[in-house]
Amino acid sequence: MTSKVHRSEEEWRRELSPEQYAVLREAATEPPFAGKYVYEKSDGMYRCAACGADLFSSETKFDSGSGWPSFTDPATEANVETREDRSHGMMRTEVICATCGGHLGHVFDDGPGPNGLRYCINSCALELEQS
User: What average pLDDT does the structure give for the chain?
Assistant: 95
99 three-state secondary structure: coil
- Show Cβ contacts of residue 85 under 8 Å, excluding neighbours closer than 6 positions: 27, 91, 92, 93, 94, 106
Asked if residue 2 has pLDDT above 80, the reply is no
**Neighbouring C-beta atoms of residue 18, cutoff 10 Å:** 9
pLDDT for 63:
95
120 is catalytic: yes
Q: Is 115 helix (H, G, I), strand (E, B) or coil?
A: coil
What number is the average pLDDT over the span 111-119? 92
pLDDT tens-digit readout, 39-90: 999 999 999 999 999 999 999 999 999 999 999 999 999 999 999 988 878 8
- Percentage of residues in the chain having pLDDT higher than 90: 89
Q: Which entry of 48, 51, 100, 120 is annotated as an active-site residue?
A: 120
State the average pLDDT over residues 1-24. Answer: 91
* Three-state DSSP class for residue 56: strand
